[in-house]
């Protein structure tokens, strides 16, 4: 026996999301957070449509609309206002949510915290700083001290470090880190507007060598401006309120039109931990990876981490899979995070140019290549390229989400069908495989003309000449099948990959 099933170190949005995902599956979770009170200042300002879908899986979907504002687009502009890059966002993206959602991070954290309070399996211990972790064969001992230096030790089956960039868990494990050495210092200014203003596009990157500048939405009534520190410029001088007002004044942002919520400098980094699992201890979020902000994927990547991890921990804790499936977590997520970091660095190398001649050459090249081209759409969610997947067409992709009609209910697929493993098929199942899928809590949906309201799933299956689609709880396609024998092989492959200890037949 252990005091709790999983200890999560860190109660930011990543750790809190993981606690809810595990508690919804019936597990006891203890969250250890060194801060005595919630952090009230914003950090991340947006999340994409795939991440909105993942957050909705915690049960906060209805509340997301109250704390977010959809972004209408993202542009890069020259100092003269010419468009270098133009991405148009839709309010009805392929995953059932707007392509881009701006938000005030404390509001998101309050929404998740309210969900935490609804679930009896979660214990949050604030003001508790973890000082030691001892991993044994059957349990992990975690020791934390409170504000009065009183010590407390908890035992758990698993520990997950979601404790940020300066992660104690990562340092304690002595995990090496790959650092690309790409970093710049920027002044970050968060404001609340006194009167409503429309910004089209919502998000703008001004590639001005005199001062690279970022303008983004950060939730209803809020905006963020960021200004890069120039070579030879003093951090102390930049990090003053009067400097923030001076730099924002050309954009019509003054003490008369806005309230300055925060003005501070920060240095972004580009790095990832080389190990995300050491025994029964795992890393997620900023503890595992850090990236420049230009692609807006920092928090999104952390939410993907814990969504991937939650269902694998669940299968392991339930005895439906061997612990070895957790090796697929770093295999899958580190590759995706590394790709996001490299993409963010590539964007940063374009944006963070302060040499006028180099900027002019950049502008001329980009303008010549995009002349006459319309705005582009955001790229789809990145597929998995390895890990716990079947070797079949479409495996690894994030399945789209449309509206369906089932048992008299019509709505988004996830809400109507349910979350977890999903088998979408036109085939019948035998008793043995039905029993296995039932043990996994799989939602089996027979696809007929009445189900696919938005005509999303039939064309998706047709793209891969498939009659069945087996989807993991993180919405990545495990694999596809064409015909009954193919489907049997697909389900057997999942059982083999999980090393599932499920008896044949009921």
Please report whether residue 121 resides in a domain: yes
Please report whether residue 217 resides in a domain: yes
Residue 432 clears pLDDT 90, i.e. is over it: yes
Kindly state the DSSP code that residue 359 receives in the 8-state scheme. H
Q: What is the spatial distance between Cα 399 and Cα 470, in angstroms, rounded to a whole number? A: 10
Q: What is the spatial distance between Cα 173 and Cα 290, in angstroms, rounded to a whole number? A: 18
**Burial of 354 by CB count in 10 Å (0-12 exposed, 13-18 middle, 19+ buried)?**
middle
| Buried b or exposed e, range 334-352, using 16+ CB within 10 angstroms | bebbeebbebbbebbebbb
Indicate if 371 and 299 belong to the same structural domain: no
Vertex 436 angle, CA 430 and 437, to 5° = 90
Indicate if 194 and 226 belong to the same structural domain: yes
Q: Average the pLDDT over 483-494 and give the result.
A: 97
Kindly state the DSSP code that residue 372 receives in the 8-state scheme. T
Indicate if 360 and 423 belong to the same structural domain: no
Q: Structural domain tally of the chain?
A: 3
Indicate if 479 and 442 belong to the same structural domain: yes
Q: Average the pLDDT over 481-503 and give the result.
A: 90
Indicate if 200 and 260 belong to the same structural domain: yes
Q: What is the spatial distance between Cα 166 and Cα 290, in angstroms, rounded to a whole number? A: 11
Kindly state the DSSP code that residue 381 receives in the 8-state scheme. P
Kindly state the DSSP code that residue 201 receives in the 8-state scheme. S
Report the CATH number that the domain containing residue 321 is assigned in CATH.
3.50.50.60
Q: Which two tokens stand for residue 149?
A: 């230096």
Please report whether residue 318 resides in a domain: yes
**Burial of 134 by CB count in 10 Å (0-12 exposed, 13-18 middle, 19+ buried)?**
exposed
pLDDT of residue 502: 61
Which are the contacts of 428, defined by CB distance < 8 A and separation ≥ 6?
484
Please report whether residue 37 resides in a domain: yes
Report the CATH number that the domain containing residue 455 is assigned in CATH.
3.40.30.120
- Would you say 70 and 92 are in contact if contact means Cβ atoms under 8 Å apart? no
Q: What is the spatial distance between Cα 172 and Cα 260, in angstroms, rounded to a whole number? A: 38
Collapsed DSSP state (helix, strand, coil) of residue 437: helix
Q: Average the pLDDT over 99-106 and give the result.
A: 97
Strands (DSSP E) found in 391-452? 403-406, 409-412, 422-425, 443-446
pLDDT of residue 370: 87
Indicate if 22 and 136 belong to the same structural domain: yes
Collapsed DSSP state (helix, strand, coil) of residue 225: strand
- Four-CA torsion 198, 202, 203, 204, nearest 10 degrees: -50
Reported confidence tier of residue 204, pLDDT bands at 50, 70, 90: very high
Q: What is the pLDDT of residues 159-177, one digit of tens each?
A: 999 999 999 999 999 999 9
**Burial of 85 by CB count in 10 Å (0-12 exposed, 13-18 middle, 19+ buried)?**
middle
H-assigned helices in 137-216: 168-173
Mean pLDDT estimate for the chain: 96
pLDDT of residue 167: 98
Q: Which two tokens stand for residue 440?
A: 């996994």
Reported confidence tier of residue 500, pLDDT bands at 50, 70, 90: confident
Q: What is the spatial distance between Cα 226 and Cα 222, in angstroms, rounded to a whole number? A: 14
Residue with tokens 């040499």: 355
Residue with tokens 């089209």: 200
Indicate if 142 and 217 belong to the same structural domain: no
Give the pairing type, strands 213-217 and 222-228.
Answer: antiparallel
Residue 506 clears pLDDT 50, i.e. is over it: no
Q: What is the pLDDT of residues 252-284, one digit of tens each?
A: 999 999 999 999 999 999 999 999 999 999 999
Edge-to-edge order in the sheet of strand 46-48: 46-48, 100-103, 68-70
Could you tell me which residues are beta bridge partners of residue 335? none
Query: Phi and psi dihedrals of 290, rounded to 5?
Result: -135, 145
Beta-carbon count within 10 A of 112 CB: 21
pLDDT of residue 450: 85
Question: DSSP readout, 26-66?
Answer: T--EEEEESSSS---S----EEEHHHHHHHIIIIIHHHHHH
Please report whether residue 52 resides in a domain: no
Q: Give the H or E element holding residue 293.
A: none
pLDDT of residue 503: 53
- Would you say 186 and 266 are in contact if contact means Cβ atoms under 8 Å apart? yes
Indicate if 313 and 444 belong to the same structural domain: no
pLDDT of residue 371: 84
Indicate if 417 and 490 belong to the same structural domain: yes
Please report whether residue 135 resides in a domain: yes
Please report whether residue 55 resides in a domain: no
Edge-to-edge order in the sheet of strand 468-471: 443-446, 422-425, 468-471, 477-481
Collapsed DSSP state (helix, strand, coil) of residue 320: coil
Residue among 408, 398, 214 at smallest CA distance from 294: 214
Residue with tokens 């980009």: 366
Q: What is the pLDDT of residues 146-159, one digit of tens each?
A: 989 999 999 999 99
Q: What is the pLDDT of residues 58-77, one digit of tens each?
A: 999 999 999 999 999 999 99
Indicate if 35 and 154 belong to the same structural domain: yes
Indicate if 110 and 168 belong to the same structural domain: yes
Indicate if 255 and 291 belong to the same structural domain: no
Give the pairing type, strands 443-446 and 422-425.
Answer: parallel
Report the CATH number that the domain containing residue 252 is assigned in CATH.
3.30.9.10
Vertex 46 angle, CA 41 and 52, to 5° = 120
Q: Give the H or E element holding residue 85.
A: strand 83-88
Residue 105 clears pLDDT 80, i.e. is over it: yes
- Would you say 347 and 94 are in contact if contact means Cβ atoms under 8 Å apart? no
Please report whether residue 505 resides in a domain: no
Residue with tokens 């809190």: 16
- Would you say 288 and 164 are in contact if contact means Cβ atoms under 8 Å apart? no
The residue segments making up the domain with residue 367 are 68-101+184-267+352-380
């Amino acid at each position: 026996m252990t005091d709790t099933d999983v200890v999560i170190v860190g109660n930011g949005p990543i750790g809190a999301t993981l606690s809810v995902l595990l508690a919804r599956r019936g597990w006891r979770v203890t969250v250890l957070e060194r801060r005595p009170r919630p952090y009230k200042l914003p950090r991340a300002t947006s999340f994409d449509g795939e991440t909105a879908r993942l957050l909705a899986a915690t049960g906060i979907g209805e509340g997301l609309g109250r704390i977010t504002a959809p972004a209408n687009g993202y542009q890069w502009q020259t100092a003269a206002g010419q468009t270098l890059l133009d991405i148009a966002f839709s309010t009805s993206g392929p995953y059932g949510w707007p392509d881009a959602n701006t938000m005030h991070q404390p509001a998101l954290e309050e929404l998740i915290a309210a969900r935490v309070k609804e679930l009896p399996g979660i214990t949050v211990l604030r003001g508790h700083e973890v000082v030691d972790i001892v991993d044994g064969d059957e349990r992990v001992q975690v020791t934390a001290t409170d504000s009065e230096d009183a010590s407390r030790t908890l035992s758990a089956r698993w520990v997950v470090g979601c404790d940020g960039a300066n992660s104690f868990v990562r340092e304690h494990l002595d995990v090496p880190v790959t650092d690309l050495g790409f970093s710049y210092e920027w002044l970050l200014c968060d404001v609340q507007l006194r009167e409503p203003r429309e910004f089209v596009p919502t998000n703008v990157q001004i590639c001005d060598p005199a001062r690279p500048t970022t303008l983004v939405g950060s939730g209803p009534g809020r905006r963020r401006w960021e200004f890069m520190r120039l070579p030879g410029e003093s951090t102390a001088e930049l990090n003053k309120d009067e400097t923030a007002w001076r730099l924002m004044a050309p954009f019509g942002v003054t003490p008369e039109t806005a309230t300055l919520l925060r003005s501070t400098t920060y240095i972004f980094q580009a790095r990832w931990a080389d190990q995300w699992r050491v025994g029964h201890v795992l890393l997620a979020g900023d503890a595992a990876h850090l990236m420049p902000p230009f692609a807006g994927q920092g928090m999104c990547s952390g939410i993907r981490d814990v969504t991937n991890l939650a269902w694998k921990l669940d299968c392991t804790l339930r005895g439906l899979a061997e612990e070895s499936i957790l090796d697929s977590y770093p295999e899958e997520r580190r590759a995706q995070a590394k790709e996001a970091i490299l993409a963010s660095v590539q964007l940063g190398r374009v944006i963070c140019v302060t040499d006028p001649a180099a900027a002019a050459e950049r502008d001329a090249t980009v303008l010549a290549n995009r002349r006459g081209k319309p705005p582009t759409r955001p790229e789809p969610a990145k597929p998995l390229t390895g890990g716990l997947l079947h070797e079949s067409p479409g495996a690894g992709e994030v399945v789209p989400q449309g509206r369906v009609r089932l048992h008299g209910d019509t709505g988004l697929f996830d809400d109507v069908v349910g979350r977890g493993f999903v088998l979408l098929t036109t085939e019948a199942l035998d008793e043995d495989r039905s029993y296995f899928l039932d043990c996994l809590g799989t939602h089996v949906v027979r696809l007929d003309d009445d189900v696919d309201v938005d005509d999303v799933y039939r064309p998706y299956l047709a793209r891969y000449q498939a009659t069945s689609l087996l989807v993991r709880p993180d919405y990545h396609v495990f694999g596809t099948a064409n015909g009954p024998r193919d489907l049997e092989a697909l389900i057997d492959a999942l059982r083999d990959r999980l090393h599932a200890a499920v008896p044949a037949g009921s």
